[in-house]
Amino acid sequence: MQLFGRKSRTQIEKLPDGQDRLPPGQYLTAKWPVLSYERTPQKLPANWKLKIKGLVEYPFELTWEELLALPRTTITSDIHCVTTWSRYDNTWEGVHIREILQRAKPLPGAKFVMVHSWTDYTTNLPLVDLDDDDVIIAIKHDGKELEAEHGGPVRLVVPRLYFYKSAKWLDGFEFMEQDRPGFWEQRGYHNHADPWQEERYW
Ligand SMILES: Nc1nc2c(c(=O)[nH]1)N[C@H]1C(S)=C(S)[C@@H](COP(=O)(O)O)O[C@H]1N2
Ligand SMILES: [Mo]
């Protein structure tokens, strides 16, 4: 990504839009904490499929092999967790969300998306926030297979929202007309989760 030009990225303190790179109330950590409410699943279920359903012109399902056969991209982005840690310069490799959106073609009535994990975790977001340049279905982090505790072998990464919107152990996207709260959104976390607006709780 060319966002930060040629300078060393960690020295950059402002985003291209002029906002501070570190959102208000966040501190930087080099470590990568693990936050999961459920037990870490040790491998992909045998019958795993990525399920694209709801208000789309072409609903479809992908097997693991079919997902891996889609075009790959690599994106470097920052993590901001609602519990106030941020981690800069995570390099994600995987399938860009637009590879999915272009095939599915969300209908005009689709305004929201529920993201599903096979562990039953869910998180909701507006389609406009999912359909973004740096949203990726990640299978590698910093050049290595994504570890199970961090959502391996496959998770979503939505870097412009707090990290609870980035579902680990991903297995589906459900396109919806009406918004509906996901797992943490039902338990007091903010429905939208913009770190620069400090949308932490509601
Ligand atoms: N399936 C699932 N995805 C999840 C979570 C979870 O509990 N289960 N926690 C969310 C929260 S609150 C955060 S901060 C990040 C943590 O990701 P990490 O453990 O890789 O740091 O995953 C998000 N995705
Ligand atoms: Mo979190």
The per-residue pLDDT for range 73-95, each reduced to its tens digit, is 999 999 999 999 999 999 999 99
pTM of the model: 0.94
User: What letters, b where the CB count within 10 A reaches 16 and e where it falls short, cover 170-197?
Assistant: bbbbbbbeebeebbbbeeebbbbbebee
Report pLDDT for 202: 85
CB 151 near ligand 1, within 6 Å: yes
pLDDT per position as a tens digit, 17-32:
899 999 999 999 999 9
Q: Do 152 and 146 meet the contact criterion of CB atoms below 8 Å apart?
A: yes
Which residue ranges form the domains of the chain, and what is each CATH number?
49-74+92-197 (3.90.420.10)
Q: Which amino acid is at 94?
A: G
117 C-beta closer than 6 A to ligand 1: yes
pLDDT at 9: 59
Q: Is the CB of 121 under 6 A from ligand 1?
A: yes
Q: Is 37 in the pocket of ligand 1 (CB under 6 A)?
A: yes
Cα–ligand 2 centroid distance for 173 (angstroms): 20
pLDDT < 50 positions in the chain? 1-7
Dist. CA 35 → ligand 2 center (Å): 6
